[in-house]
Structure 1
Amino acid sequence: MPRLTVIGGGFAGLTAAISAAEAGARVTLHESHHTLGGRARTAEGPYKTNEGPHALYSGGPHWTWLKQRDLIGPLAPVPPLEGTRLRLRHRGALRRTPPFAMLKLLRRKAELAPVDQDFTTWATGQVGEEGARAAAHYVAVATFHHDPGSLSARFVQERLRRAAKMPSEALPRALGLARAGDTPLPVGGWASVIDRMAARAWNLGVRVETLARVDSLTDTGLSAGPVVVATSLDSARRLLDDGSLRWDSGRTVLVDLALRSRKGDPFVLSDLDGTGWIERFTAQDRTLAPAGRQLLQGQFPIGPDETKADGEARAERLLDLGFPDWRGRVAWRRASVANGRTGAVDHPGTTWRDRPAIARGDGVYLVGDQVAAPGLLSEVSFNSAIEAVALALSGRLREGGARRPGATEPWVEPSVKPWVDLKSA
């Protein structure tokens, strides 16, 4: 059987390990932490929060893949009444509906938006300045960027249509941080999905080594054969000593807040006057917090010159509108900054095809949410992992082929890139 090494045990790494093992490869996975999950790890303690933003959208190919393998588990449906309490801050007040001009943008097909023009310019020409600005701020929930209007119109419009779709596709930050709408989410959030993926990898014979940091591809502990690097782009740049592995991402303040329970709290607050989002996740899954407590999680993208305090101040202003008595109900609070850990953003003139390539040569493949694969947020991680394994296992060992550092036999890259049918993967 072919051998394959995966470096990184997050969502992308586990996807690669499972798909390779299902294809008959002997897989070893190295994870530098003592637990698997990457940004999908869930904090220990009474409040089940993630260590970073991520999202699953049920319309993506990874949802079908997970469902086929029974890796999602029990779903917690949104209570009908709770699902109606979406509030939008617009012109300084909370409203139930977005500006009509913003709704008009949802009718525009994403493929008609230009790649080489920024979203604000294009959308203003379509529906006017107010609708363009509101739409750009709303879509921050699917970009984690402080100024989505400055990004490629094609990139933003695709995310706007999916983030505002009714019924929504997104599973929120109990699974990541995105729009909840009326889509059910797996009970226990990301951790439950990761645990099932780890169990499937184990049952398929994947050798999982935790606390196994890999600093070089010449490490003697690596098996011969292709290597899938499923780390952050920063870590991959150091590991592969490749300064070209760069792509812009977002920078956002993550706010976690537990309040003493009270009836009538809104389900979601979205800031159309700025970029910010707060969601009450215990409305869907009571297991995320102790009895009598409501778990709120929010994200507030910040610019290069802004600080965590700036993001927290914006969160407090939005909380003052939606939860007027929140300060007297606080039972627990935490805030952190996610810098460059929120997926790729494409500037005008670029698409996902311009990001760092999956195939790096010499039997090395790069996967994650900032590489050259299509999709929204974690879909990029999934798509790149499936593609990397397809490429790796289609190569053949031959005399005279390219040699990966540390490998005992040469490795020849496949001559034809087999972009797989991800819907049937």
Structure 2
Amino acid sequence: MRRRISVIGGGLAGLTAALTAAEAGARVTLYEAHSSLGGRARTADAPYRTNEGPHALYYRGPHWTWLKQHDLLPAMAPLPPLEGSRFRFRRDGRLRKVPPAAMLRLVRRRDAPVDRDFHSWAAGIAGEAGARAAARYSAVAIFHHDPGSLSAAFVLERLRRATALPPEAHYPAGGWGSLVGLMASRAWDMGVRIEVGARVGELPQDGPVVVATSLPAARTLLGDASLTWPSGRTALVDLAVRERRGDAFVVSDLDSPGWLERFTAQDPALAPAGEQLIQGQVPVAPEEGRAAGVARAEELLDLGYPGWRDRTVWRREALAAGRTGAVDPVGSTWRDRPRVDRGGGVYLAGDQVAAPGVLSEVSFASAITAVTLALGERRLGAVA
């Protein structure tokens, strides 16, 4: 008889778990509380095909390799050439074309200590200004209001990935929904039973269960108060503006963590003809609200997109709390996060659990591990 496995959550982690289990021959049922799959990887319908905050897929990571091996990589929007792409940095209140040289010295480092904060470690190498700039730039892959206070090893890995040349960040054409669509179609073809609009209040009892929800949702479902880990909060600002020659492609804030990106620079189909789609994320501290982050985003808009207020044809704002993945404090690594195996045939997957990687890679790695442990299939490649 084929083994049964249930997956709760239809985001990237849940879809990866469902596909992996089906590939191993299991009978899979996937439950998604919303009316559509994708989780934070959903893409809004036209005319403005926004993601829930700026998204990118890092091509050197294991997630990219797995998607390619399974013929699940969607078409990628071509990256603008680095020369002439108008990649800009705010430093000392002005836009610059290059980051400080001291920051770049840190990128060449191969490793950093786990038990020191990034700022104090980096300042000994690149000076105070270089350490601050590097920490703030790393926010594009961390989403935290104070990256310099986190583990030096954690921040350096993300800094190196985010500054690699050629760039690791790639963008699915049409938004991340195109990737979700491919994964969902493959799951249907493999016989996965998908139930949307199905909010699960109690765990299924007919086999192992992979809980691939946010960590707060898993904590409530499992009644396990230990399921906590630090994350970040960001103010999200989405704009559609009329085209103007000379608008920046990216504005990275080195005075305070923040990031704006003009996504139509590589994929014009994300907005109507003659309009540009800009998405931004600005980390906010625990005591701050959305307004503080939006105000900082508007400062970046003033610098990188002159006249944007008069050109705006659509705007949306949100506060993303606890949805930005795990951050590792000083003295901790991914191995210290909530473990995948919860006992009793229950397994966790998602971006705040004990698995390595950057951004979506954590969801992917934890999903593979969860299914490997659930089915006892060591060949699937569980994370040690």
In the superposition, the TM-score normalised over structure 1's length comes to 0.87
Give the equivalent residue in structure 1 for 2:142: 143
Give the equivalent residue in structure 2 for 1:197: 183
Matches within 5 A, 1:66-145: 66-80=67-81, 84-110=85-111, 113-145=112-144
Give the equivalent residue in structure 1 for 2:341: 359
Give the equivalent residue in structure 2 for 1:335: 317
Shift of 1:418: 7.5
**Cα distance in structure 1, aligned partners of 2:350 and 2:173:** 25
**2:332 partner letter:** T
| C-alpha distance after superposition, 1:279-320 (max 9, x if no partner) | 100011111101110000010000011111111110111111
| Aligned mate of 2:218, from 228, 236, 258 | 236
> Would you say the 8 A contact 1:54–1:378 is kept in 2?
no
**Cα distance in structure 2, aligned partners of 1:131 and 1:52:** 27
> Would you say the 8 A contact 2:54–2:280 is kept in 1?
no
Matches within 5 A, 1:277-296: 277-296=259-278
Identity fraction in percent: 66
Structure 1 position 384 matched with structure 2 position 366 = yes
| C-alpha distance after superposition, 1:43-74 (max 9, x if no partner) | 22410012355542111111011112222222
Structure 1 position 170 matched with structure 2 position 156 = no
**Cα distance in structure 1, aligned partners of 2:77 and 2:329:** 37
Give the equivalent residue in structure 2 for 1:26: 27
| C-alpha distance after superposition, 1:151-191 (max 9, x if no partner) | 000000110000011111113xxxxxxxxxxxxx2211110
**Cα distance in structure 2, aligned partners of 1:60 and 1:69:** 15
> Would you say the 8 A contact 2:119–2:132 is kept in 1?
yes
| C-alpha distance after superposition, 1:83-141 (max 9, x if no partner) | 6311111111111111110011011112xx11111000000011100100000010011
Matches within 5 A, 1:5-24: 5-24=6-25
Structure 1 position 63 matched with structure 2 position 49 = no
Structure 1 position 323 matched with structure 2 position 324 = no
* 1:232–1:67 CA distance, 2 compared to 1 (3 A): same
> Would you say the 8 A contact 2:7–2:14 is kept in 1?
yes
| Aligned mate of 1:345, from 327, 338, 342 | 327
Shift of 1:82: 7.1
C-alpha RMSD of the superposition: 1.5
Structure 1, unaligned stretches of length 5 or more?
Answer: 172-184, 396-416
**1:120 partner letter:** H
* 1:15–1:375 CA distance, 2 compared to 1 (3 A): same
> Would you say the 8 A contact 1:49–1:288 is kept in 2?
yes
**Cα distance in structure 2, aligned partners of 1:206 and 1:81:** 42
**Cα distance in structure 1, aligned partners of 2:53 and 2:277:** 16
* 1:10–1:308 CA distance, 2 compared to 1 (3 A): same
Larger Rg: 1
**Cα distance in structure 2, aligned partners of 1:324 and 1:211:** 43
Secondary structure, counterpart of 2:323 in structure 1:
strand
| C-alpha distance after superposition, 1:327-374 (max 9, x if no partner) | 111111111010000000000010000000000001100000000000
**Cα distance in structure 1, aligned partners of 2:233 and 2:82:** 33
**Cα distance in structure 2, aligned partners of 1:9 and 1:15:** 9
> Would you say the 8 A contact 1:83–1:267 is kept in 2?
no
Matches within 5 A, 1:222-233: 222=204, 224-233=206-215
Secondary structure, counterpart of 2:116 in structure 1:
coil
**1:108 partner letter:** R
Secondary structure, counterpart of 2:132 in structure 1:
helix
**2:180 partner letter:** I
* 1:24–1:64 CA distance, 2 compared to 1 (3 A): same
Secondary structure, counterpart of 1:165 in structure 2:
coil
> Would you say the 8 A contact 1:52–1:341 is kept in 2?
no
Give the equivalent residue in structure 1 for 2:295: 313
Shift of 1:16: 0.3
| C-alpha distance after superposition, 1:7-35 (max 9, x if no partner) | 00000000000011011111000111110
In the superposition, the TM-score normalised over structure 2's length comes to 0.96
**Cα distance in structure 2, aligned partners of 1:101 and 1:169:** 22
Structure 1 position 255 matched with structure 2 position 212 = no
Give the equivalent residue in structure 1 for 2:192: 206
Residue correspondences, number = 382
**2:126 partner letter:** V
**Cα distance in structure 2, aligned partners of 1:318 and 1:270:** 8
* 1:419–1:74 CA distance, 2 compared to 1 (3 A): closer
> Would you say the 8 A contact 2:370–2:382 is kept in 1?
no
> Would you say the 8 A contact 2:53–2:281 is kept in 1?
no
